[in-house]
Structures are given as structure tokens and as C-alpha cells.
Amino acid sequence: MNMKTYVLYNNKSNNGKGGGAARRVGDIWKHKDLVFVDVFSIDDYREFFSSLEPDDEICVCGGDGTFNHFANDAADAGFDNSHKVYFYPTGTGNDFFNDLGKTAEDGPVEANKYIVNLPRVIVNGQNRLFINGIGYGIDGYCCEEGDRQRSKDIGKEINYTSIAIKGLLLHYKPTNAEITVDGVTHKFEKVWLAPTMNGRFYGGGMMATPDQDRLNAERTVTTMVMYGKGKIGTLAAFPTIFKGEHVKKTKIVKTFVGKKVTVKFDRPVALQIDGETVLNVTEYTVETP
């Protein structure tokens, strides 16, 4: 039988434009036999994988959240990575592709090595693998506020940078935090950000952890904490995170590298996992393979 490439697309990505964007794969791979499948039409991934012929391929099209769901669904279904898996970005932030130094114009990338040995987050009863990072603090607030705005105006383009600035100035209050990395606990006051990262980028272009390598041999993650300053001082430092230069501000930014991380806040706030919001979180734990 002829080899087929199953293009798994997410119509909901990029504010409802993801399905159309996925069709670009057909312009790039004119020589391949493409079968387009809506990810929401797959009820049983174990059955889907078992239906594939040995040479068939998969191309996941969507944002970071779509790629996260595929990685989790594949792991839950016992996917053995025997089929080639590609990823093509059709989302809004596309931090995974940004971390690879690529854009949509580069076409799909083979992604098998990026969906194995992923770190896992345990939060509010959930136990999930993640691709890019866990956002906790004002980054979680931004996702919560973005969801609220989108629910009022479906299809609205969400400006997370604007939400962050308004949050820093008006709405978000920092917390106290305990961050335990490989058994060593560190305490901080006035914490604004406390993400744990598998890659360098999250939040649509913020380089939270510029030294983090998602394929590092030890499979460690990096936790970054921004703390201590008031609203104006934090707002002044915030833009430097887009180039990763915030880590030079060692009086207000610390980073920790390890294999098991627990972050506890002294009040519940929102958290995001690869861009998807979890509400009312007081702590999360990340464990690596």
C-alpha cells in the first residue's frame, strides 16, 4: 500500500484559523499522499495508531496546546514512536517552533525526539507531560484573563503582552513562594513569576530560561523566579524577558536547574501548561524522567 501522511489539524487553534492554516502542508508536501483528520474526531488514539500501516506518517498541526495534547494522548495510548511524527505550527504563540529557531515558512519538522522523555507536572489532581513549560504567577493570570476575553468575544486576537502590563500595574498581586529543587528549599517574597521550563520560550515569545536545552542529556528542567521588586520596578525589568536578558538582573531573578521541582504559593493563582489554564493553584510539582 502507498505510504500515507495523516495531517492531524486543530480547527480551534489560532482563534479558529488552524484548520485553514493546516492546508498549507499540502502546498509544502505536494509529493505526499495526505489524509487530513480533525484531532477532535479521534476518540481512541490506541485504535488510531493501530490502524496505521508501518510506513505511514503523522503531521500534527496546531499550537503548543495541540502538540501537548498529542504528546499526552500518544503516551497514554502506548505509542512506541515507530512512525515518523512531524509538527507544523498553526497556533498563535508557537513557542516550540520558536525554541527550535524555526518559523512556519520552514515547513514541518520531524518531532519524534521531542515527544519522548518529557517532564511531567502534577497539579490539582492532573498529571500531564508538557512540551515547553509551566507558567505560574502573572503568566498564569495572563492565560486566565485571555480565556475570559476570548469567552466574551470568540475569535478575538488576544494581546498577552498588554494583559501582562495591565496586570503588573493594576490587577495582579505578587505572592510569597517556596521553591524546592532536588530537595533544597528556597523562600522568596513578592514573587511575580515562577515557571518551570523544558524549553526556553513560553507565553508567545518570552525567553524565560535562555540556557535551558530541551534535549539536555540529564533531562533537567529550569525554574526561574522573578521576585522582590514593586510594580514599577518589575514593569521596568519585564521587557528584558523577551530576549532572555532578565537573568542578568540577579537581585530580582534566580534560576534553578534540577530534576524534581515543587513550587508553593501562599495563595491560589492561575497556572498554565503549554498555554492551557488551570485555576486555583497553590502548588505544582514537576518531575523529569
Cell readout for 84 is 515518523
- pLDDT higher than threshold 90 for residue 169: no
What pLDDT was estimated at residue 168?
73
- pLDDT higher than threshold 80 for residue 16: no
For 81-95, 109-123, 137-151, which range has the lowest pLDDT when averaged over its residues?
137-151
Could you tell me if 163 and 254 lie in one domain? yes
Q: How far from the centroid of its chain's Cα atoms is residue 116's Cα?
A: 15
Could you tell me if 126 and 252 lie in one domain? yes
What pLDDT was estimated at residue 3?
92
Could you tell me if 76 and 130 lie in one domain? no
Q: Are 91 and 65 in contact (CB under 8 A)?
A: yes
What pLDDT was estimated at residue 126?
93
| Mean pLDDT, residues 36-52 taken together | 95
- pLDDT higher than threshold 80 for residue 51: yes
> What are the tens digits of pLDDT across the range 200-229?
999 888 999 999 999 999 999 999 999 998
What pLDDT was estimated at residue 171?
80
Using DSSP, state whether 189 is helix, strand or coil: strand
Nearest alpha carbon to residue 265 among 180, 151, 142, 149: 180
Domain tally for the chain?
2
Could you tell me if 80 and 180 lie in one domain? no
Domain's final residue, options 91, 114, 137: 114
What pLDDT was estimated at residue 167?
72
H/E element, 146: helix 138-152
Could you tell me if 101 and 204 lie in one domain? no
Could you tell me if 159 and 54 lie in one domain? no
- pLDDT higher than threshold 70 for residue 157: no
- pLDDT higher than threshold 70 for residue 199: yes
What pLDDT was estimated at residue 251?
94
Interatomic CA distance for residues 61 and 81, integer angstroms = 18
Distances in Å between the alpha carbon of 131 and those of 22, 32, 134?
20, 27, 9
The CATH number linked to 210 is 2.60.200.40
Considering the chain, what is the average pLDDT of its residues? 92
The CATH number linked to 91 is 3.40.50.10330
Domain's final residue, options 114, 145, 161: 114
Could you tell me if 93 and 187 lie in one domain? no
What pLDDT was estimated at residue 242?
92
What pLDDT was estimated at residue 172?
87
pLDDT category of residue 66 using cuts at 50, 70 and 90 = very high
Nearest alpha carbon to residue 57 among 6, 111, 109: 6
Sign of the CA dihedral running 85, 90, 96, 100 = positive
- The C-alpha R_g of the chain, in whole angstroms, comes to 19
Measured at the CA of 81, the angle between CA 78 and CA 84, to 5 degrees, comes to: 140
What pLDDT was estimated at residue 259?
98
Domain's final residue, options 75, 91, 114: 114
What pLDDT was estimated at residue 235?
87
Could you tell me if 136 and 99 lie in one domain? no
> What are the tens digits of pLDDT across the range 235-273?
889 899 999 999 999 999 999 999 999 999 999 999 999
Could you tell me if 136 and 270 lie in one domain? yes
Burial label for 145, CB within 10 Å (0-12, 13-18, 19+), is buried
Which position has the higher pLDDT, 252 or 141?
252
**91 lies in which domain range?**
5-114
Could you tell me if 279 and 170 lie in one domain? yes
Could you tell me if 165 and 270 lie in one domain? yes
Could you tell me if 188 and 270 lie in one domain? yes
Cell readout for 286 is 514537576
